Amino acid sequence: MFEKLKETVLKYEEITERLNNPGTADDSGQYMELLKEQGRLLPIVEAYKAYEDNEKAIEESGEMMKTEDDPELKSLAKEEYNEALKKRPELEKELKLMLIPKDADDERNVIVEIRAGAGGDEAALFASDLYRMYVKYAEKNRFSVETTDLEDTGIGGFKYVSFMINGKGAYSRFKYESGVHRVQRVPETESGGRIHTSTVTVAIMPEKTEVEVEIDPKDCRIDVFRASGNGGQCVNTTDSAVRLTHIPTGIVISCQDEKSQIKNKAKAFKVLRAKLYDLNKEKAHEEEASLRKSQVGTGDRSEKIRTYNFPQSRITDHRIGLTLYSLEKVLEGDLDQVVEPLTGADMAEKLASLEENS
């Protein structure tokens, strides 16, 4: 660990030296990249300096305790020694956490897909509940939401809904939502009052650029059609909706949110890039899972991750054994009480792995 930290300090010093060179500013792109990297490394360098200062305090006060004859100075040295010793584990932990590799997608926008699973109309109704929960949570985090495609049931439920959440750090807040969500409740249509169990599948995908995921236009078929549903007077009068088919994979994307065919086409390609990236990521996740089973995970879509029990107002995340009795608040967008423990568990798992390999 300390070898990595020394390398980080040397890299920071090298970048600072380059930034101080007047010629570096001539290339604005390179200059901004160096500034960004310097900003990323600074907290690690500062934390390492704090750790080194604390180690120096331990060494110097320990030496004073051995050599000092004055009782008062000896007592002060002992006090400083104990205080520095007490600080050491926390400073070490802080450094280890900083060395955990950051998820490269954390700052990105996300594309969300929600599909009703087992349970018919009740599953579709819960799919719409999850959609509203995510929209409210996005709004609490000041993210914007754009719906790209929607297939409703006519009674308030969604068989399928696809939408984009835009904002810095969106993926970091939503990435643990991929998987099967199970609901247990009495449907409004159930006269006998029996509890039904239904499922909904959620997919969370980071948005990718054209450079990161290349798509050959020859591999795509684009069809246009008239949009349906809400959207004002123009919705059924122009062929603005777009259906994009990726022939090699069979992935089909429909987008009818915008009145402009060009905008719908651009959105459809954004979704396709995310789905192609997610497809490759899922394959890699399956290979990784055969070698090492992750406790929290962010890629196994068949994994049952959470149960929402309405009669007991209970929500349980099965990956970390978290149980809360605040289902109504969570569905109203107070998702942090679930997201933060998941983030903490993921960090703890990565920290344990780092310690094991150091």
Residue 355 located in a structural domain = no
Q: Are residues 238 and 275 in the same domain?
A: yes
The contacts of residue 205 (CB under 8 Å, 6+ apart) are: 110, 111, 112, 113, 274, 275, 277, 278
The strands making up 110-116's β-sheet, listed across from edge to edge, are 144-152, 158-166, 110-116, 196-206, 179-185, 304-309, 314-317, 322-324
Assess whether 152 and 207 both reside in one domain: yes
Q: What angle do helix axes 28-67 and 2-20 make, rounded to 10 degrees?
A: 130
Pairing of β 179-185 and β 304-309: parallel
185 and 288 fall within a common domain: yes
Predicted confidence (pLDDT) per residue in 245-302, tens digit: 989 888 888 888 777 888 888 888 888 888 888 888 777 666 555 444 454 554 445 6
Closest-CA residue to 260 (of 288, 232, 289): 232
Nearest to 255 by CA among 222, 207, 217, 301: 222
* Three-class secondary structure of residue 43 per DSSP: helix
Domain boundary among 78, 99, 120: 99
Looking at the fold, whether 269 and 344 belong to one and the same domain comes out as yes
- What pLDDT does 154 receive? 85
* Other Cβ atoms closer than 10 A to 308: 22
Please give the C-alpha separations between residue 60 and each of 46, 54, 66, 86, 211, in angstroms, as whole numbers. Answer: 21, 10, 10, 15, 54
Final residue belonging to a domain, choices 42, 65, 99: 99
Asked whether residue 42 falls in the same domain as residue 168, the answer is: no
Query: Per the domain annotation, does 37 fall within a domain?
Result: yes
pLDDT tens figures, 170-226 = 999 999 999 999 999 988 767 667 889 999 999 999 988 777 788 888 888 988 887
**Cβ atoms within 10 Å, residue 291:** 6
What CATH number should be reported for the domain holding residue 279?
Answer: 3.30.70.1660
Q: What is the C-alpha to C-alpha distance for residues 81 and 59, in angstroms, rounded to an integer? A: 8
C-alpha to C-alpha distance for 352 and 291, rounded to whole angstroms: 17
- Is 104 inside any structural domain? no
Residues 203 and 226 in one domain: yes
* CB of 138 closer than 8 Å to CB of 170: yes
Phi, psi for 305 (deg, rounded to 5) = -100, -30
Place of tokens 């914007």: 144
Domain containing 50: what range?
Answer: 2-99
pLDDT of residue 232: 40
Q: In what order do the strands lie in the sheet with 220-225?
A: 220-225, 241-246, 251-255
Query: Which of 52, 73, 99 is the last residue in one of the domains?
Result: 99
Instruction: Decide if 356 is inside a domain.
Output: no
pLDDT score of 235 more than 50: no
Residue 354 lies in a domain: no
Count the alpha carbons within 13 Å of 283 in the hemisphere toward its beta carbon. Answer: 5
Chain-wide mean pLDDT for the chain?
85
Q: Would you say residue 267 lies in a domain? A: yes
Residues 64 and 130 in one domain: no
DSSP result, 294-352: -SS-S--TTSEEEEEETTTTEEEETTTTEEES-HHHHHTT-THHHHHHHHHHHHHHHHH
Residue with tokens 């099967």: 180
**H or E element in which residue 144 lies:** strand 144-152
State percent of the chain over pLDDT 70.
89
The verdict on 142 and 28 lying in the same domain is no
Same domain assignment for residues 74 and 181? no
Q: What count of Cα atoms within 13 Å lies in the side-chain half-sphere of residue 222?
A: 17
Residue 357 lies in a domain: no
Q: Same domain for 334 and 273?
A: yes
Overall domain count for the chain:
2
Does 283 lie in the same domain as 138? yes
In a domain, 324, yes or no: yes
What is 61-82 written as a DSSP string?
HHHHHHH---HHHHHHHHHHHH
299-331, pLDDT tens digit by residue? 445 679 999 999 999 999 999 999 999 999 999
Confidence of residue 240 (pLDDT cuts 50, 70, 90): confident
Q: Same domain, yes or no, for 81 and 174?
A: no
